[in-house]
Structure 1
Amino acid sequence: MTASAQATRRWPWPVAVLFWLAFSAFLLAGKAGPVSQLVLPDADDYVRLVQVEQWLDGGGFRDVGLPRLDPPAGVVMHWSRLPDLPIAAVILAVEPFSDRQTAVTAALLVVPALYMLGFLLLVTAISARLFGPGPALLAPLLAIFAVPAIGAFMPGRIDHHNIQVLLALVMLDAATRLYAGQGRRWAIVMGAAGGLAIAIGAEALPQILACYAALGLGWILGRPAMLRAGLLMSTTLAATASGILVLAVARNSYFAAACDSLSLVYVVATGLAAAVWAILWALDRFLTTAAARALVAAVLAAGALAILLAAYPACAGGPYGALPQELKESWLASVDEAQSALHLARKDMTRLNIHLLLPVIALVGLSLGAWRHRDNPVWLPLLVFTGVTLAIAILQIRATTAANAIAIIGAVHAYAALYDGVRRRARALPHLAASAVVIALLPLSIFAATGGLSERAAQTERRAVACGLPQSLAVLDTLPPGAVMAPANLGAIILAHTRHAVFAAHYHRDVDGLLAAQRVFEAASPDVALAEIRRKKADYVVVCLGKGPYGLKAPNADSFAGSLVAGAAPSWLSRVPDDKLEIFRVMP
């Protein structure tokens, strides 16, 4: 591992740019057409677009409510306005020279592409600084093969996960620079990136924890500079989060106790963390052994956590703590990204491979490297960031996006070491053959060998013929605007492609809407379904009878959904002719 100025100057940024140009061209060839028709990769992208356009059409900057989700009250989303800024900027720049749809398409293509360029440049630059320009050539290749991470940068991906990946890499870069003795300013960079990340979404918590752990462990093991860096980092993080709360959150929500988004809870939490670092700094001269430092740090951290949970007991259950038990059992249990790796392993081992294989390879490679280079402290933050994010990803699959992005750095070392090992043990082996051995062991190659790619292709084909395509909603959009009772998997696309309101979409704050849809479609009789439909004042009932991500999920034959599938709609529903969806008007 090297951190020489020469290696830093020679980092192969042109390779990263070439990878970006080639991969972007490949993606645009297949994705530009669908994206121009507003066929987006994920429900979150549809709702993010709805939120951006709502703001551009006169909504308030601090107002992240969706009035068309579960009307009449609407749902205040847990999302930050900050990721909307670059999307809105592109739309505003293009719209004067075209129409809104063209401007939106430009934003859907340009914003993720620019984020991807930043991603490839970051992993290449960090790898070059740590391991040298030669091994760093692997970084963009591994980045493209890190499916959970690179997936956040696909055309149309405008949700906030791509920004959080970039901020996670900035935090890791700053941590390694601090261990390399490059100045305390990197503590400020780390804290500012952490504060911005936590303001964007609670998914950044694993990386924030890794920041605290990396600097705290360094101090415990006898590096006093890490204590000063930790104090500066934690103070900057708390100040950044507090400042964004004041600037970007609705004024009437300043003192709200939200566990799933930037709120007073996170300001108190980051403030308590800064207080812990300040107390450790004050006590440092009395703590002369690693054991004493570890004990005091653990006691203070536990005390801060106890104070936080005593002040906000609802947050003990995490971001989903306020969700009713009924929804936890019936809805949350079916959301794959909220489940553990063990849950996913029972369902789909190939998906588990692609989610966790690269972080495991990186952790093993870094562990071996740290053992061989025990005198170089820069290995410690790499191990901590990789280990912490992998552990959280095992507990909840949604964390694999950042875990895979961070793992790229460790995997660069692992595969470079593998290449060197193959060459040393078989000196007659040509470079090309040694490279083939390494490529054969890349995660995407292993994934393909286990049948994962063919399954992904089949899933993509099923999605393409599912009811969620925009043209499938054409008839629905011609009807007078009203409130639609539909399964939650149709909610986001109805919001994005029609003028209608919907009651249910896959968002944990949409509690009453989710419960209403569940009670309607699982009702034991049409009369029970009608009572709930009347309570919510729905104008239409819409279902997709086809297979795929937007279809009804194998409804019970005795349920209301089952009767719709069987073609036995009750008399109080009037069918609207459509060959794509089953659309019914609710009769007075």
Structure 2
Amino acid sequence: MFGGLALALLVERGPAAYFAVEYDRISVVHLTQAALVAAFWAVAASLRRRGREPQGMISRLLAAVGGAALALALLRLFFPRVLVNPLKDVDPLVLTIYDAISEYAPIADVAHFLLYLGMAVLALPWGITRLRRCWSGKGRWAWLLLMVSAAVYLALALSWIRWSLYAVLFLIPIVADLMISADAAIDRRFAPPKRLPIKLAAMVLLAVGPLAVGAAGVIASKPAEAAPPPPPLAGDPRPCPVQAMARFLEAPPWSEQTHTILASANFGAEILYRTRHRVTAIIHHRNAAGILDGVRILGGSDAITVRELIGKRRIDLILLCRGGADDAYFQMNKGDAVFYRRLKRGDLPQWLREVTLPADLKGRFQLFEVLPRS
């Protein structure tokens, strides 16, 4: 791990920034953590070679806890902010926007739990069973590591959905072991031709059963829509099909030069990926200034301030979505004079013109061009 991080840090940051201290991206902080872990196990290996390793579970546990405490103390000595939330200094308005992002939200109900983490329903009981069976054998520590790690990340995922990915990484081996055991049990109990359909049904149930129940529950709990959703555009079923809009922006005349686009931060990364253009904001706390300037522009009501910010950011195009909730955070200021609402109702300042979009995009987006100062 230490060697991999050392190489990754060199590729990611280069020699000039190799020792830059940053907590929210790969840096010397994480390299130091790996070095401390490597040092602990190097000492443990050295003691074992000399026949001086701790004897018994309690002694080993105390050695592990002592090593972890020493590593943490050294880490805090070198990097005092290592235990501080990286979002602590982010503007509260940006955190409010983050609250509307599903991956930062808690798991809302049983249906969503089954959708994201349904395999835990099967994995945890089976993991406990396997742990009890091999408690006196060599597999104890491997199963204990899997179970403790799964439990920790499950607890984290309940408050932040994005942690569910890490929980699943530890749940998958447990479910795989359950499927292997079920396969062997079916082979022992059933003979062909019954064996194949029974085995197929069992494997499907173990692999996707809880997820299917969760998906059905989520679909059933959705309120009925007043109007049917618009048909997918260019294969994109979203209310704001950015992929189709990106194709328009990558065609003449907009493709002839790079433009800076003010749009919802939810669209930023996809616009960057699919076009040659720049954006003012993406969903990332390091881009807080861009997110806030977008709010000040489209959520502002003072025309002079709005125009100054647009000039400061060198914005060429403003992109709004007619449907969906991706632009909702621009409307935190509820007044009718908010620039976002002015654009929506066609009340444009003289330095802005609406771009005529193709028929398939016109019902989904509004695009405005900032005219050069006279």
SS at match of 1:481: coil
- 1:195-234 equivalences in 2 (<5 Å): none
The separation in 1 between residues aligned to 2:104 and 2:213, in whole angstroms, is: 27
Q: Which string of whole-angstrom CA distances, capped at 9 and with x for unpartnered residues, describes residues 144-199 of structure 1?
A: xxxxxxxxxxxxxxxxxxxxxxxxxxxxxxxxxxxxxxxxxxxxxxxxxxxxxxxx
Partner of 1:584: 368
Higher relative helix content: 1
The separation in 1 between residues aligned to 2:82 and 2:230, in whole angstroms, is: 36
Among 323, 326, 335, the residue aligned to 2:92: 326
Q: Does 1:410 align with 2:174?
A: yes
TM-score with structure 2 length normalisation? 0.76
Residues 1:459 and 1:414: Cα distance change in structure 2 (over 3 Å) = farther
C-alpha displacement at 1:503, in angstroms? 0.8
Partner of 1:490: 267
C-alpha displacement at 1:333, in angstroms? 2.7
C-alpha displacement at 1:538, in angstroms? 1.6
Partner of 1:295: 62
Residues 1:344 and 1:530: Cα distance change in structure 2 (over 3 Å) = farther
One-letter amino acid matched to 2:96: S
Residues 1:437 and 1:540: Cα distance change in structure 2 (over 3 Å) = closer
Partner of 1:468: 241
One-letter amino acid matched to 2:65: A
One-letter amino acid matched to 1:471: A
Larger Cα-atom Rg: 2
Residues 1:507 and 1:460: Cα distance change in structure 2 (over 3 Å) = farther
Among 65, 70, 77, the residue aligned to 1:310: 77
Q: Does 1:561 align with 2:327?
A: no
- Unpaired runs of 5+ residues, structure 1, are 1-236
Give yes or no for contact 2:266–2:282 (8 Å, CA) kept in 1: yes
Partner of 1:481: 258
Report the count of equivalent residues: 345
Q: Does 1:262 align with 2:23?
A: no
Residues 1:244 and 1:433: Cα distance change in structure 2 (over 3 Å) = closer
Structure showing greater relative contact order (alpha-carbon pairs closer than 8 Å, 6 or more residues apart): 1
- 1:15-164 equivalences in 2 (<5 Å): none
Partner of 2:108: 345
Q: Does 1:546 align with 2:323?
A: yes
Give yes or no for contact 1:504–1:517 (8 Å, CA) kept in 2: yes
Identity of aligned residues (%): 22
Give yes or no for contact 2:186–2:195 (8 Å, CA) kept in 1: no
- Unpaired runs of 5+ residues, structure 2, are 223-228
Among 301, 311, 335, the residue aligned to 2:101: 335
TM-score with structure 1 length normalisation? 0.51
Q: Does 1:499 align with 2:276?
A: yes
Partner of 1:374: 135
SS at match of 1:324: coil
Q: Which string of whole-angstrom CA distances, capped at 9 and with x for unpartnered residues, describes residues 220-270 of structure 1?
A: xxxxxxxxxxxxxxxxx2233223433553221111112233321122111
One-letter amino acid matched to 1:561: Y
One-letter amino acid matched to 1:373: C
Partner of 2:226: none
Residues 1:500 and 1:564: Cα distance change in structure 2 (over 3 Å) = same
Q: Which string of whole-angstrom CA distances, capped at 9 and with x for unpartnered residues, describes residues 350-391 of structure 1?
A: 332122121442232122022123343225314413531452
One-letter amino acid matched to 1:542: L
One-letter amino acid matched to 1:355: Y
Q: Which string of whole-angstrom CA distances, capped at 9 and with x for unpartnered residues, describes residues 430-463 of structure 1?
A: 4356446635743633333444488499999695
Partner of 2:297: 520
Q: Which string of whole-angstrom CA distances, capped at 9 and with x for unpartnered residues, describes residues 30-88 of structure 1?
A: xxxxxxxxxxxxxxxxxxxxxxxxxxxxxxxxxxxxxxxxxxxxxxxxxxxxxxxxxxx
Give yes or no for contact 1:440–1:446 (8 Å, CA) kept in 2: no
One-letter amino acid matched to 1:584: F
